[in-house]
Amino acid sequence: MTMPASIGNGTSQAYQPALSSARTEKAAAQAEAIKVRQSEAVAETVKRQADFSSSRAEVLSRQAEQMENRVQSQDPGKGIGGQVDITV
């Protein structure tokens, strides 16, 4: 039985740990950079949503205050019922 000619022949190594390690480190660094960008994007989205919610709460608070002021300014004693005697 003879061994195939491709086994053990040639000048290139089958495993090059220095290159493989460098590729692994580069891939890990790229993955980490992607995670950082995603985290930053999520943080920015959350900040925008919080800003929007805060702004919306301020608007609703102002509207509620305006409604309260309208109700307080409408004194029922100043209406026509206070001026006309409707007793029978």
Is residue 82 assigned to a domain?
no
Is residue 53 assigned to a domain?
yes
Q: Which two tokens stand for residue 5?
A: 């000619």
Q: What is the pLDDT of residue 43?
A: 98
Measured at the CA of 43, the angle between CA 55 and CA 31, to 5 degrees, comes to 165
Is residue 9 assigned to a domain?
no
Q: What is the pLDDT of residue 8?
A: 55
**1 three-class SS:** coil
Q: What is the pLDDT of residue 12?
A: 57
- Count of domains in the chain? 1
Is residue 38 assigned to a domain?
yes
Tens digit of each residue's pLDDT, the chain (88 residues): 555 555 555 555 555 566 678 889 999 999 999 999 999 999 999 999 999 999 999 999 999 999 999 888 876 655 555 566 667 6
Scanning 1-88, the segments in alpha helix (DSSP H) are 17-73
Q: Range of 35's domain?
A: 17-72
**16 three-class SS:** coil
Is residue 63 assigned to a domain?
yes
pTM of the model: 0.51
